[in-house]
Amino acid sequence: MQADHRPQDGAAPVLSLRGIVKSFPGVRALDGVQLDLYPGQVTALIGENGAGKSTIVKVLTGIYQPDEGQILVDGQPATFPTAQAAGRAGVTAIHQETVLFDELTVAENIFIGHAPRNRWGLIDRRAMRDRVGAILRDIGSDLSPTARLRDLGIASRHMVAIARALSIDARVVIMDEPTAALSHKEIQELYALVETLKRQNKAILFISHKFDEIFRIADRWTVFRDGQFVGQGLMRDATEAGLVQMMVGRAVDQIYPKRPARIGEPILTVAGYCHPTEFEDITFTLRQGEILGFYGLVGAGRSELMQALFGITRPSKGACKIDGKVRVIRSTAEAVDAGIVYVPEDRGRQGAVKGLPIFQNVTLPSLQRTGRGGFLRLAEEFALAREYTQRLDLRAASLDQDVGLLSGGNQQKVVIAKWLATRPRVIILDEPTKGIDIGSKAAVHDFMSELAAEGLSIIMVSSEIPEVLGMSDRVIVMREGRIAAECSGREMTPENLVRAAAGIGLTKGEAA
C-alpha cells in the first residue's frame, strides 16, 4: 500500500487498542489499557519503568497475545497472532536494541524476509538496491546500500531500522526510546526523520523518558501507570508538572515496613569511581544500618556500578574503602572477602546455580567455613543452609532439591540466604522485587528492614518509585552514568526522583 494511500484525517485513528489485559504469573502487566494512534501524528507513551510500555509494544507487534481486549485497525477488529501478521497490518517497531544482522549489508538488512525476487525466485539484487536507494534518499540518509552493518555506528543502525520499517510500507511505526544511545547531533537527525515520517502520514508511537524530546516532537500523549491507562490528550494542552503527576500518581503510603534504624558510622566509601563507558565520577558513602536507594532509568548505569563494586568489572579510576580501609576489588571472591555481596537483577543467568541443590547453593561461598581443610562436611552444610533458608521462610520440598525447580521468589531467597550466610558488611540488592509476587515482595521488604535494624548496610537498586521511597533512608538518583541527585528526608518525593532521573532539575535545590 502507498504511504499517501489515505487522505489526511486527524480524527480517525489508524490503530486503536481497547481494554487490553495481559497477565503473567504473579503480575498483571496490562490491566485494561487503551491507546490510539493517528496518521501523521506522533503519540508519546509515558510511564515509569514497569508501567507496561514494553508489554504494549509486544502486543502491538504480535509477540504477546492479549488475554482480553480488542485491536482495531481502521476501526475494524484485528488480531496479530504472529509478528508477521502485525507486519502485514503495517505495524513495525524500532527497538531500543535494534535487531539487525551484523554480517549483512544495509540493503540486505532492510529487505531481510521480504526481498524482491526475480522470475527465478532468486533475490533481485538490482531491484533491491534501487528501492533501498530510494528509501534512503527519502529519509535523507547518505548511507551506502552495500555497506556492512558491523561497520556502522548506532545512529546509522537506527537509520537502517527505520528504512526497514519504511520498506514494508508500515503505517504504524513504534519507536521505543530511540534516542537512548544517540549523541546530540544524531538526535537532531532523528527528529528530522520523525518529521519526514509524519509527512508521509505514518502514525508514530514514541516511547521516551525524556520530557524535553516529548514536548519537542509529540502531538499527543498517553500515560500508563502500573499497567493501567491513566489518561491521554494533546501535547499542546499538557504541562510537564501535569504529566509527572500522572506518571507517579498514587500516594506513597505505609505498606512499606521500613522501621527507623540506628544509622551508625560510614561502612563503605566510594570515591571517584569511573568506568570507560558505563559510569563516571561516582562518590558516595554508606553508613551502618542504612538502606541507600539507587533510582534511575533503565540504562542509567546503576547495575554496572554495583557490579563494579562486586568485582565483576573493574573501575578505570576511583577508590573504595570498607571500614576505613582501602580495598582493591578485582574479583567477586575479593568482594566477598571484603564483605560486599550482590544479589543480581538477572536471576536467570546470574542468580542461583540451577542444577545444584538448594543447600549447595547456599553454602557455595561459605565452603571454607562449613568444610575443614578443603574437605566438605555435609552435616555442617545442611545446618548452615537450614539456618538461613528458614530465616527467609523459604518454601521448598527439601534442601536437596534442585534450586531450578523453585519459583522465582524462592530462588531469590536462596540467593539472599547464600549471602547472609557469609555475614557480609554490605549487601547490594539489584531490583530485589522485580517480577516476584506481592507476597514474596512484602517478605523481602520486611526482611530488608530487619537486616538494617541489625546493623547491616544495604544498597537497593530499584526502578519502582514507591519501593525506593518506602524503603530507603536516602536516595541517590543516577542519570546517564552520573549521580544526578541525592535526596533525603523531605526531598524524597516522587516528583524529585522522576525529575532528576529525566534531567529536568529538582524543585527544591539539589540539581544535577
Please identify which residue in 394, 456, 484, 497 interacts with other proteins, judged by CB under 8 A. Answer: 394
Cell of 446: 520486611
Residues 414, 406 contacting (CB under 8 angstroms) = yes
For position 232 contacting other proteins by CB under 8 A, the verdict is: no
Concatenating the DSSP letter of every residue in 404-461 gives GGS-HHHHHHHHHHHHHTT--SEEEEESTTTT--HHHHHHHHHHHHHHHHTT-EEEEE
- Binding test (CB under 8 A) with other proteins, winner from 365, 432, 470, 494: 365
What would the grid cell of residue 38 be? 493517528
Interaction with other proteins in 287-316: which residues (CB under 8 A)? 310, 312
| Residue 174 is a binding residue for other proteins (CB under 8 A) | no
- Which region among 16-24, 117-125, 218-226, 354-362 touches other proteins (by CB under 8 A)? 354-362
Q: Which is nearer to other proteins, 370 or 457 (CB)?
A: 370
Quick one: 33 or 338, whose CB is closer to other proteins? 338
Task: Rule CB under 8 A: choose which of 401, 405, 488, 509 binds other proteins.
Answer: 401
Report if residue 447 touches other proteins, rule: CB under 8 A: yes
Question: How far does Cα 196 stand from its chain's mean position?
Answer: 29
Least separation, in Å, of the C-beta of 200 and other proteins? 45
Site string for other proteins, 459-498 (x = CB under 8 A): ----------------------------------------
444 near other proteins (CB under 8 A) = no
Q: Cell numbers at residue 279, please? A: 559510569
* 6: nearest Cα among 130, 94, 72, 90: 90
Q: Which is nearer to other proteins, 212 or 393 (CB)?
A: 393
Is 273 a binding residue for other proteins by CB under 8 A? The answer is no
398 is an interface residue for other proteins by CB under 8 A: yes
Enumerate long-range contacts of 450-454, CB under 8 Å, 24 or more apart.
Answer: 450/259, 451/420, 451/427, 452/259, 452/261, 452/289, 452/290, 452/291, 453/259, 453/261, 453/262, 453/289, 454/289
Q: Which stretch binds other proteins (CB under 8 A): 16-24, 39-47, 215-223, 327-335?
A: 327-335
Are 294 and 474 in contact, with CB atoms under 8 Å apart?
no
Cell numbers 539489584 correspond to what residue?
A: 430
Binding segment (CB under 8 A) for other proteins, from list 4-12, 151-159, 241-249, 352-360: 352-360
Q: Interacting stretch for other proteins, rule CB under 8 A, among 70-78, 227-235, 396-404, 433-441?
A: 396-404
Cβ–Cβ under 8 Å, residues 304 and 346: no
d(CA 20, CA 35): 9
Minimum distance of other proteins from residue 389's CB (angstroms): 6
For other proteins, the closer CB: 209 or 434: 434
- In the complex with other proteins, the residue whose CB is nearer, 224 or 388, is 388
* 215 makes contact with other proteins (CB under 8 A): no
Q: How far apart are CA 483 and CA 301, in angstroms?
A: 10
Does residue number 425 form part of the binding site for other proteins (CB under 8 A)?
no
Q: In what order do the strands lie in the sheet with 68-73?
A: 27-37, 15-24, 68-73, 76-78
Contact range with other proteins by CB under 8 A, out of 20-28, 267-275, 293-301, 336-344: 336-344
Nearest to 156 by CA among 167, 169, 142: 142
Answer whether 88's CB lies under 8 Å from 169's CB.
no
Element spanning 476, H or E: strand 474-479
Give the footprint of other proteins on this chain (CB under 8 A): 310, 312, 331-333, 335-336, 341-342, 344, 349-356, 359-361, 364-365, 367-368, 371, 374-376, 382, 386-387, 389-401, 418, 422, 447, 450
